[in-house]
Structure 1
Amino acid sequence: MSKASKHTSETPATHWLRQQKIPFGEFPYDYVDHGGAREAARQLNVPLHQVAKTLIMEDEHGQGLVVLMHGDCEVSTKNLARQTGAKKISPCTPENAQRNSGYQVGGTSPFGTRKRMPIWVESTLLDYDQVYLNGGRRGYLISVASGVLTGALAAKPVQVALDREHD
């Protein structure tokens, strides 16, 4: 693991990764309100399409689920519901997202969440050797091998991306 240029402290995500003996890189950056994956990718000089947003959603029964999506794409909740067998899926409120994940919105990681939730990953994220995801705190990305998502996290691939740049 590389030593980060800024001080980083343990998060539930990094604790989980270390417990699982999964190597990861650390990439602190200056958090900007509403900057999201685009701002992180810009500051870290990594492709936005290789940065995964961690989105907490819920089905028609209020059951939480995690979706990992390219930083430059949106999720088709209609296609996600169809592919996961739900009747309806919608984004959680920030309060429910934090309650389900244990993370502050803008710092949500799929690793070490408070509640165990099913995880879905946009299949084309798996085309990269490494992906960048939130490390459990605002202004902090980590990189992992994409195989970790379907392996250790047991994320199931879906095809639900809507390209924000062209829609």
Structure 2
Amino acid sequence: MARGTPATQQLTKAGISFELAEYEYAPGGERVGLQAAEAMHVPPARVFKTLMTEVDGKPVCAILPSDAEVDMKALASVLGAKSAQMMKPELAERMTGYKVGGISPLGQRKSVPVLLEASARDHETIYINGGQRGLQIILRPDDLVVALDCRIAPFAR
């Protein structure tokens, strides 16, 4: 498996330390984050999924624990918007340059606002998708905030 993805390249360029973890990706799974947590024997609350959403029609990347769901009203509220919904998978792939199941918040084709679920700070390190199916990046939540220049807010249930 190639380890040089746009996501890892962004972290390396920024001088942010990280580790990589690989797992056997099972195609067709609906809950990629939970599958990754199980395959790596890591609590699901530490494995964060990347969801591309549309908030008042504009793209927003939401990063939250794999065992949580986005509270769309809370997501919209955090951004001072009226509504939020999931982005269609085809659009998410075009916008990010990644395939569903391998979408990383890092190294995306187009820069969009990013929100990290507040519970990330409950952990010394978290896992996020590395930009390839079966590849996870392990890093400190504060380092992810720096790399993405993102906001931390509660928006999951």
**Structure 1 residues not aligned, in runs of 5+:** 1-6, 163-167
TM-score, normalised by the number of residues in structure 2: 0.94
Identity %: 35
- Indicate the SS of the match to 2:105: coil
| Equivalence for 2:124 | 129
- Give me the whole-angstrom Cα distance separating, in 2, the residues matched to 1:125 and 1:115: 24
- Give me the whole-angstrom Cα distance separating, in 1, the residues matched to 2:76 and 2:21: 33
> Residue deviations 1:35-91, cap 9 Å, x none?
411111111111110000011111223x21100101100000111111111111111
- Indicate the SS of the match to 1:121: strand
The match for 1:16 among 10, 21, 24 is: 10
Q: Which has the larger radius of gyration?
A: 1
**Between Structure 1 and Structure 2, which shows a larger proportion of helix residues?**
2
- Give me the whole-angstrom Cα distance separating, in 2, the residues matched to 1:118 and 1:14: 19
Shift of 1:128: 0.9
For 2:106, the aligned partner's letter is F
For 1:105, the aligned partner's letter is V
Count of residues in correspondence between the two structures: 155
| Equivalence for 1:103 | 98
The match for 1:113 among 74, 99, 108 is: 108
Question: Could you say what the CA RMSD is over the residues aligned between the two structures, in angstroms?
Answer: 1.1
Asked if 2 retains the 8 angstrom alpha-carbon contact of 1:8 and 1:28, the reply is no
- Give me the whole-angstrom Cα distance separating, in 1, the residues matched to 2:111 and 2:121: 22
The match for 1:75 among 70, 74, 87 is: 70
**Structure 2 residues not aligned, in runs of 5+:** none
- Give me the whole-angstrom Cα distance separating, in 2, the residues matched to 1:65 and 1:83: 12
| Equivalence for 1:41 | 37
Moved beyond 3 Å, runs of 4+ = none
**Between Structure 1 and Structure 2, which shows a larger proportion of strand residues?**
1
